[in-house]
Amino acid sequence: MSIPPFAAFLEEHRGPVYRFLVAAVGRDGADDCFQETFLSALRAYPRLRDASNLRSWVLTIANRKAIDHHRARARAIPVGAAVAEAGGRGAVSGPDGDPEVWWAVRALPPAQRAAVVHRYVLDLPYAEVARILGCSEEAARAAAYEGRRKLRTVLEGTR
């Protein structure tokens, strides 16, 4: 399968990448992570040999940028100060719906957060989630299951 021009690649994959990043890092960090994702993709694009799995490839880059974003924030601002600065848990927005849910999703460990977002926000099959996370399909299923279980526990305790 031939590799499309980068502009066509960007147009095709911008929506899913941005939705993933909003869910993974919030609206405030999504724009920066989006730009970093596609800058990294642009740098690597000339070296690609096959276009059969471009969505997984770019979502893997986005996942790594989301992890970098969380690591940088963890070093820069103590968690209590970040929550107070945001006005409490409810002030943190997500792609749609209940802000508490998205606060809880972002509080998950990186693999669980990515598995939950890729599976339940982007509706990707477990095989593709596994490719993005660089693990087996069983490990991707386990990460999504554990993430859902933790979310259920946290959200039942806040309502």
CB count within 10 Å of CB 80 equals: 8
- The crossing angle, in degrees rounded to 10, of helices 27-44 and 54-76 is 130
Using alpha carbons only, give the angle 71, 22, 156 rounded to the nearest 5 degrees.
85
pLDDT at 119: 92
Pairwise CA distance, residues 65 & 75, whole Å:
15
Q: Are 147 and 89 in contact (CB under 8 A)?
A: no
Pairwise CA distance, residues 132 & 42, whole Å:
18
Q: Are 61 and 41 in contact (CB under 8 A)?
A: yes
Which amino acid makes up residue 31? D
pTM for the model: 0.67
pLDDT at 159: 59
Helix residue ranges, H only, the chain: 6-25, 27-44, 54-76, 79-85, 99-107, 110-116, 126-133, 137-158
pLDDT along the chain (159 residues), means of 10: 91 95 91 96 92 92 93 58 40 57 88 92 91 94 94 82
CB count within 10 Å of CB 92 equals: 21
> What domains, with CATH codes, occur in the chain?
6-158 (1.20.140.160)
